[in-house]
Amino acid sequence: MPEEWEGPVKMWDGPAPPAQAPDPNDHLQYMRLALDQAQESPPKPTNFCVGALLVDADTGTILERGYTLECEGNTHAEQCCLIKFAKAHGLPEERVGEVLPADTVIYTTMEPCNKRSVGNIPCVDRLIRTKGPDGRLRIKKVYLGVKEPEKFVGANEGIAKLQQHGIECIHVPGLEERILQVATAGHET
Ligand code: HJL
Ligand code: ZN
């Protein structure tokens, strides 16, 4: 005979179980979160809807999130991450390297841009200048979901230029179809 319940069910009132620790090696997990960001981006026929995350690779902590056109003006996802993280530390974007952890990585659904419309600094150059007071790069790895399609600027030389400057570019496979669907929302077919 099963024991009968006595009185109402008692709810657990002890400490909350620990949240699952982030795993810095689960790149697909971070790319999915970057894709979530891309989905927040307002569709625009003349650019791509991209999402990005800054992550401290030593701890797996997400430092910042961003998406295309999130910040004021004609802003890119990677640029928004840098602007927001710098601002949270009271600094302008160009000084973000002073406050980024030594082993910061960026996840972006699309290869960072190397050419922009007039008056904008490409994200590749923004990443290359994230140097700390010791003169060393703070972002040495870029995880990307897809290369940039040749639609607006011809072949994007983003990966090549990053690598020339000692920034490793790593493709995270698995979400390409969805990333491109989100990136091209609002484009003519
Ligand atoms: C990446 C973004 C974004 C693009 N690429 N990596 N992140 N929008 O947030 C690349 C595309 C440019 C167009 C138009 N898109 O955005 O090539 O007007 O958006 O400077 O070439 O350039 P502008
Ligand atoms: Zn860009």
Report pLDDT for 43: 93
pLDDT grade, residue 179 (50/70/90)? very high
Chain mean pLDDT for the chain: 92
Q: Is pLDDT larger for residue 106 or for residue 1?
A: 106
Instruction: Please write the tens of the pLDDT for every residue from 73-126.
Output: 999 999 999 999 999 999 999 999 999 999 999 999 999 999 998 889 999 999
Report pLDDT for 18: 63
Q: Ligand 1 pocket: which of 54, 67, 76, 142 to mutate (most atoms <8 Å of CB)?
A: 76
76 close to ligand 1 (CB < 6 Angstrom): yes
In this prediction, what percent of the chain has a pLDDT beyond 70? 91
pLDDT grade, residue 30 (50/70/90)? very high
Report pLDDT for 186: 84
pTM of the entire structure?
0.90
Q: Is pLDDT larger for residue 22 or for residue 80?
A: 80
Instruction: Please write the tens of the pLDDT for every residue from 34-71.
Output: 999 999 999 999 999 999 999 999 999 999 999 999 99
* Residue 18 alpha carbon to ligand 1 centre in Å: 39
Residue nearest to atom 12 of ligand 1 (CA): 47
Alpha-carbon gap, residue 65 to 34, rounded angstroms? 8
Report pLDDT for 20: 67
30 close to ligand 1 (CB < 6 Angstrom): no
